[in-house]
């Protein structure tokens, strides 16, 4: 299966540089703490680290969504207690904001740690898929219409296509109709 190109390598590079400049202007003269939601934002985070002209520390969170035998979805968030949120300017990087469920959960837990500020930068914002009203402060691309499954530039389907230099689409796999559970794990 060959993905159809949605955004080229050049378009992504241009948007990442623009976002880096915008974030740099927002926090002029400040240090930020970049927190990436793995694995999908791995490449996006690496490029953003180079594009933001500020001093920064970098940390990772991991969210894994699995389909259970009953057809329901379970999202496990590995939330690291050793990330120094308190008093810091936190920029949370996410690959795709669709339902907003995982992002809302993370924002609530990070806010409990009293950051100086907390903003969200997404590679892709899909507002038409929202179940919870959360909005990114910045997004590289906004997709308003339903699309096939998005892959490339760090995004994968069944661990394939992650290394593509562009964002593309493949036919959407069937999704379960059941509910979703979120499990919080803590490390550190």
Identify the band that residue 105 occupies on the pLDDT scale cut at 50, 70 and 90.
confident
Q: Quick check: is 13 catalytic?
A: no
Residue tagged active-site, from 82, 98, 125, 137? 98
Q: 42 — phi, psi (to 5°)?
A: -55, -55
The Cα 83–Cα 85 span in angstroms is 6
Question: What is the pTM (predicted TM-score) of this model?
Answer: 0.85
Token pair in block for residue 102: 């995982």
Q: What is the dihedral of CA 42, 46, 52, 57, to 10 degrees?
A: 80
Identify the band that residue 145 occupies on the pLDDT scale cut at 50, 70 and 90.
confident
Judged on CB neighbours under 10 Å (0-12, 13-18, 19+), 72 is middle
Identify the band that residue 61 occupies on the pLDDT scale cut at 50, 70 and 90.
confident
CATH number for the domain running over 4-173: 3.40.50.2020
**What pLDDT is stored for residue 109 in this prediction?**
87
CA angle 17, 23, 27 (to 5 degrees): 145
What's the mean per-residue pLDDT of the chain? 87
The Cα 157–Cα 172 span in angstroms is 10
């Amino acid at each position: 299966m060959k993905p159809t190109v949605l955004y080229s390598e050049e378009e992504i590079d241009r948007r990442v540089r623009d976002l880096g400049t915008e974030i740099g202007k927002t926090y002029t003269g400040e240090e930020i703490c970049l927190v990436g939601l793995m694995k999908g934002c791995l490449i996006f985070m690496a490029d953003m680290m180079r594009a933001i002209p500020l001093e920064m520390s970098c940390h990772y969170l991991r969210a894994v969504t699995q389909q259970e035998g009953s057809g329901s979805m379970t999202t496990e968030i590995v939330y690291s207690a050793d990330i120094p949120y308190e008093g810091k300017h936190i920029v949370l990087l996410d690959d795709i904001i669709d339902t907003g469920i995982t992002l809302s959960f993370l924002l609530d837990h990070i806010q409990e740690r009293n950051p100086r500020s907390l903003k969200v930068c997404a590679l892709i914002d899909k507002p038409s898929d929202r179940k919870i009203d959360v909005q990114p402060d910045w997004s590289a691309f906004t997709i308003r219409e339903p699309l096939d499954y998005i892959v490339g530039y760090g995004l994968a389907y069944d661990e394939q296509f992650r290394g593509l230099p562009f964002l593309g689409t493949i036919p959407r796999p069937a999704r379960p109709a059941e509910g979703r559970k979120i499990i919080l794990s803590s490390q550190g």
